[in-house]
Amino acid sequence: MKNIAIIGAGLTGLTTAFYLKRYGFNVCVYEKTDRCGGAMHTLHQDGFSFEAGPTTGVINSPEVFELFEDLNILDKINYADENAKKRLIWKNNSFHPLPSGPISAISTPLFSLKDKIKVLFEPFISKGNNEHENLAHLVKRRLGTSFLNYAIDPFIGGIYAGNPENLIPKYALPKLYNLEQEYGSFIKGAFTKARKKKNDREKKVSKKMFSFYGGFSSLINELVANIGEENILTQQKELKIEKQDDKYIINKESYDLIVSACPSTGFKESFAFLNEDEIDKLTNIKYAPVVQIALGFKNWDGIDLNAFGALVPSIEKRNVLGILFTSSFLKDRAPKDSILLSIFMGGTRNEAITKEDDDIILRKVIEEVNSMLKPKNAEINLSHIFRHKYAIPQYEITSKERFQAIKDIENKYSNFFVGGNIHNGIGIGDRIKQGNNIANKIASLNK
């Protein structure tokens, strides 16, 4: 039976460990901090349940649903309320809903008339041939500047906390990139894919946003319970992984195989067997820093919060990236007389704000909430600030070299597998799929 060490107890590392254990391998997860979950961390206070990290995921691949089936926790999934799915976009001092159908698409003030007409001709625009065209350029070319400014830019602010000028669709949004490359058009591609007959496995995929009752820490707790706490070592601060012949050595323990599931910073800290050039290539990636603020209000009397949340385009030059109306779509998150907001600041748009002191951040966030959501007498009854220096990796132009380096390194060190969000996507669904894929690959190579 092979001994496998997994470095990092975030969602990627725990998913990998869960499946490897199911395949019958001996696993040991090494985690630097004193808890499991990495970015995923739910806190509870005064009847509120709030996230320090992700709030919802999407079941964007069968592997996501299958993990919940395999953990036997389908009944613990808390789907976001469909009645609160509206997305608001800030423009000229007020919020406007993102169009959800043809009539609202015509009447919305978010996009210019010229671009609304341009979209009708999108299927006839020839496909791009620069694989490294940036996202801003791609969107301007196919949809127009107002779609970039008031749809894609705020969406990218919400997902990547990043800048469409720097993200490369081939790496950052491969599904969008492939629509143009395979079908010649976003619209044609989306229609064709929607009409395609789905097999039973594909039917597990949905656009539904989900969390878990009790928050994402419930998912982490289930994974930990299944892996076995005895197989997870936390507080591994000075971890060094050496290679001796065909074994990997950690604190005198010998392993046949090793999986990295940590952010790029972990390679320099712990992977002593990699050379400087390999580490440089793996760590040549920018992370957007994010500050997340959980804010609760008693007796809310501001604007109607019956929506998923609000996104703020960079062109509007506000201090927030976006606001999730968390208690509107996840009903277990606030006491009956209260509401819960999750507010995001910083990103590549405004890194300076992430370095401000807590009192300044709190003052600025309250100013923004007062001016945008307009509460009058509602009383703040919860406030927590969470800082993420390495929140979201940016899949920029450097990704090509990094992805190649990962392949080269895995070929050179045959029993070393590189996981984590430096490749294969940044979302919860991507992390689960990658963890599952790595475990399957190891199992098939070691039959």
Q: Which residues bind ligand FAD (CB under 6 A)?
A: 7-13, 30-33, 38-40, 53-57, 236, 239, 261-263, 265-266, 269-270, 290, 292, 388, 391-392, 420-421, 426-428, 431
**Which residue lies nearer to ligand FAD by CB, 12 or 163?**
12
Q: How far is the CB of 99 from ligand FAD (least distance, A)?
A: 23
CB 20 within 8 A of CB 4: yes
Q: How far is the CB of 342 from ligand FAD (least distance, A)?
A: 9
**Which residue lies nearer to ligand FAD by CB, 206 or 265?**
265
Write the DSSP string, 91-107. ETTEEEEPP-SHHHHHH
Distance separating alpha carbons of residues 135 and 348, to the nearest angstrom: 15
Distance separating alpha carbons of residues 97 and 310, to the nearest angstrom: 9
Q: Supply 127's token pair.
A: 């496909």
Write the DSSP string, 242-268. EEETTEEEETTEEESEEEE-S-THHHH
**Which residue lies nearer to ligand FAD by CB, 266 or 296?**
266
Q: How far is the CB of 264 from ligand FAD (least distance, A)?
A: 9
**Which residue lies nearer to ligand FAD by CB, 173 or 378?**
173
Q: How far is the CB of 53 from ligand FAD (least distance, A)?
A: 4
Q: Supply 221's token pair.
A: 């707790």
**Which residue lies nearer to ligand FAD by CB, 73 or 290?**
290
**Which residue lies nearer to ligand FAD by CB, 118 or 431?**
431
Distance separating alpha carbons of residues 72 and 87, to the nearest angstrom: 32
Ramachandran assignment for 46, one of left (phi > 0), alpha (psi -120 to 50 degrees), beta (any other): left
Q: How far is the CB of 136 from ligand FAD (least distance, A)?
A: 22
Ramachandran assignment for 306, one of left (phi > 0), alpha (psi -120 to 50 degrees), beta (any other): beta
CA distances, 173 to each of 6, 179, 186 (Å): 28, 10, 12
Q: How far is the CB of 56 from ligand FAD (least distance, A)?
A: 5
Distance separating alpha carbons of residues 354 and 292, to the nearest angstrom: 9
**Which residue lies nearer to ligand FAD by CB, 314 or 424?**
424
Q: How far is the CB of 38 from ligand FAD (least distance, A)?
A: 2
Distance separating alpha carbons of residues 29 and 8, to the nearest angstrom: 7
Q: How far is the CB of 118 from ligand FAD (least distance, A)?
A: 31
**Which residue lies nearer to ligand FAD by CB, 274 or 378?**
274
How would you class 2 by CB atoms within 10 Å of its CB: exposed for 0-12, middle for 13-18, buried for 19 or more? middle
Q: How far is the CB of 7 from ligand FAD (least distance, A)?
A: 5
**Which residue lies nearer to ligand FAD by CB, 20 or 239?**
239
3-class DSSP state for residue 429? Answer: helix
Write the DSSP string, 311-344. E--GGG--S-SEEE-HHHH-TTSS-TTEEEEEEE
